[in-house]
């Protein structure tokens, strides 16, 4: 069992500061479309980033285990929030991944590593919404 501790202090208006010991703090706020200020991380952004980063760290794990030599890894994670019968909910998170390989012969192994990451990412496993992955090799 592992635990991950984070803290929030409300500052003013619709903005707070999120902290974790030894890690850089940053502001978090209600999204602008619900009355918050612009240019702050929002709870919905953080959920998208949690999934996107979990897929990255899981992919790095499986790629390393398969001895895949990656040149680059980029992803875009988009959370979609909708009105549902039970209220607002994040119903889908799409993660579009672009990986550069040193050796195109490792393409199939790379696809397998991403599929393994999708099945083993602990953040995705905790969501009841859909996580949709796409992979582009270059």
| Residue ranges in 4-33 that form contacts with a copy of itself under rule CB under 8 A | 4-10, 14, 16, 18, 20, 22-24, 26-31, 33
Question: Residue 107 interacts with a copy of itself (CB under 8 A)?
Answer: no
Question: Residue 69 interacts with a copy of itself (CB under 8 A)?
Answer: no
Q: Which of 91, 79, 1, 87 is nearest to 47 (CA)?
A: 79
Question: Residue 51 interacts with a copy of itself (CB under 8 A)?
Answer: yes
Q: Which of 60, 63, 59, 75 is nearest to 136 (CA)?
A: 75
Please report where in the chains the tokens 């919404």 appear, as a residue: 129
Shortest spacing between CB 49 and a copy of itself, in angstroms: 4
Q: Which of 74, 136, 66 is nearest to 106 (CA)?
A: 66
- One residue of 46, 109, 115, 137 binding a copy of itself per CB under 8 A: 46
Is residue 19 a contact partner of residue 7, using CB atoms and an 8 Å limit?
yes
Question: Residue 137 interacts with a copy of itself (CB under 8 A)?
Answer: no
């Amino acid at each position: 069992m592992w635990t991950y501790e984070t803290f929030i202090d409300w500052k003013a208006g619709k903005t707070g500061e999120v902290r974790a010991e030894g890690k850089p703090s940053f502001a978090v706020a209600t999204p602008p479309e619900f009355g918050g200020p612009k240019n702050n991380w929002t709870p919905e952004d953080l959920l998208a980033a949690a999934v996107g980063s979990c897929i990255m760290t899981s992919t790095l794990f499986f790629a390393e285990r398969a001895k895949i030599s990656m040149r680059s890894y980029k992803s875009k994670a988009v959370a979609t929030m909708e009105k549902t019968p039970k209220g607002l909910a994040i119903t889908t998170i799409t993660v579009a991944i672009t990986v550069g390989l040193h050796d195109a012969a490792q393409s199939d192994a790379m696809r397998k590593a991403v599929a393994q990451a999708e099945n083993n990412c602990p953040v995705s496993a905790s969501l009841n919404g859909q996580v949709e992955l796409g992979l582009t090799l270059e």
